[in-house]
Every structure is written in structure tokens, then in C-alpha cells.
Structure 1
Amino acid sequence: MSLKHGLLGLLTIRKSSGYDLSKLFQESLSFFWVANQSQIYRELDKMEEIGWVVSSKVEQDARPNKRVYGITKEGNQELIRWLKEGNAEDLSVVRNPLLMKLFFSGKVEKDHAVALLKNYRAICVQARAEISEQVAGIGDVEETAAKPAYWLYATEYSIRQYDFQIKWIDETIARLESLK
């Protein structure tokens, strides 16, 4: 996946400013894709250059003016092309800094590895709670071509992934603590 495709998908729901897209991204996609607001603005600029989105300036009285982005026919075609793409190898790329650190943790005291795992566990618990809150709000999303049921499938995957990680961390900590 690329950030561009995530943004195109969000723009199929409604036209949005960069700020609103960033907020919507955090509320819907952040549990499996991380992007900050400056990245989102950079991608919007690139997508406008290649014709996948168009923007218009909206003047506001009480606030600064904003740019509102909408998906073009070409942008929608690109999103559909990407969704139909069958390259499963790209989907299985794994980069996990936690596992990289754990793999080499025999070079440091056991307490460092345990602390790393405990800190990551806290992050997992928090992220899982946030996803559960997001799931409760998915039903509030207007019915569009985005099909909220698919959002539920993606969030369910993420919840199960965090459940697995929490369980694995607990088991790994117990095994590490039992080592002499």
C-alpha cells in the first residue's frame, strides 16, 4: 500500500481539506498505516500534479482559507487499479524493529529486553483500546462506496493482531524472566 492510495480511498468518501484528511486518516487508517500531516500534504501535492486529485480554495471568514481536495476520474481509476493488483509479495513485506532488537538482545542485559517488551506491550494495549473506540464509530460513517463492513474487517484484523502481540509479549517476558 502507499499513502497515496489510502488518501485516494478516503477522498472517495468525501471531499476534504488536508487537515480534515489527516484527521480522518488518524481515525480510520492509523491502526495499520502511519502518516503525519506533513506527509499527507506532500502526497496531496504530488497527486494533484499527476491529476489524481483536484483542489479548490475555500475562503472562510473566521478562519484562514483552506484547500479542499477531491478525487478525479483518473484518481478513482488508479485506486481501482491498485485494489485489483494481484501482487501478493508486496503484501507480505515485514519490517519489525521490535523483532530486530529482540533478535540481538542477547548482547545486552535481559532487563533491557524485558523493559522493551513491557513498553511495547503498553503501546499495544493503548492502540487496541483506540481501535475498539474507532470500531464503535464506524457505524456512524455515512454509507458510501467505501463499504463500512470492509472497514470492520480491517479493524478486526488489527484488534486480533494486537491481541496476538500482547499474548506473545506476556509469554516471552515470562520465558525471559525464568532465565538465569
Structure 2
Amino acid sequence: MRITALIMSGGRGSRLGNVDKGSLRICGKPMIKWVLDNLTNAGIDKIIASASMRNYNTLRILKEVHSDVYISSGIDYVTDLSFALKLIRARPLLVMPVDTPLITPDIILDFIKRGIESSKPVVNMIGREGYVGVTLFNESMGEWVDVNYDSPLVMDIDTPRDVDTANLLCLKLLNFT
């Protein structure tokens, strides 16, 4: 099955002191590159990245490594996602926020499989701490279902503490591979 993915990277990063999250480094690598690599390694057919003009560093990185980018309004996540759902007609559409760099290709593939098998229009990924913003849209809107993962890698990075946790987890992963 063909899957299109959208990386959402237009936020303000306000809980991190207004940091451009996509360019924030986890284990020395910008988060946008982690997410791009994980989606590519999961075999995703088409990857589209969305960033706002305030995320200059993320846009610069994307220009170097990825060509399918559109500029979002940066107003807020819901506004940008609503626009993207109208702009991108492909379904299923996997939405990955840029602040989910440790969600591995295996987890991505399992989530897609479970999401498609659910036959629900919208499927959300939940980690140990709750929703992480990863969503599979089988249709644009409608009834949804949640898929739970008991893995420390299923996390989003919103606070300085999250950055520290992600760096520790990443170092453990790199030492085991």
C-alpha cells in the first residue's frame, strides 16, 4: 500500500524557549533529519514537510536534504493541519510532528498496519505520557481510535526535560546498534 507522510514542523517551540524544533539536535542530529530518516527507512513512498517562515533553520536543513516542502502559516498546529488535510488529498496520510525523532521505522510500520486494519477514519498514536501527535488519516475526518505503545521511544519533545530524556534514550539506542 502506498503511504504519504507529512512532517509538521511549523510550531513555535514555546515550551522550549521559542526554539526552532526541527533544527534542535538530539544526539547531534537535527530532529527534522531524524524524522525524515525514520520515515524513509520505514519505506514511506512520499514525504512532504511543512514549516513556517519562523522556522528558518529547519527550512534551511530541508532545502539541503529534501525537496517536497511547503510553507505553512505557523498560526497554530490545528490551522496548519487543517490546511494540509485540504491540500494533500492522498490517503492514508501519516502525520508526524517534527518533535517525534525517536519513533523508529518499526514502530511507524506497526502503527500504519494497525491503523489501516482498524478501518477507522482517524488513528492516533499514544505513548506512555499520552498523545504524541502522530496520526494516520485513512479519511479526512470522522470517528477515531487510539493505538497505544508502551515504549519510551514513543514520545514528543516539548520541554527541556524531554530533550534530556531523548538524548539519553538516543545514546542508549546508538550503543546497542
TM range (shorter): under 0.3
Normalising to structure 1: TM-score of the pair?
A: 0.26
Relative to its length, the structure with more helix (as a share) is: 1
Relative to its length, the structure with more strand (as a share) is: 2
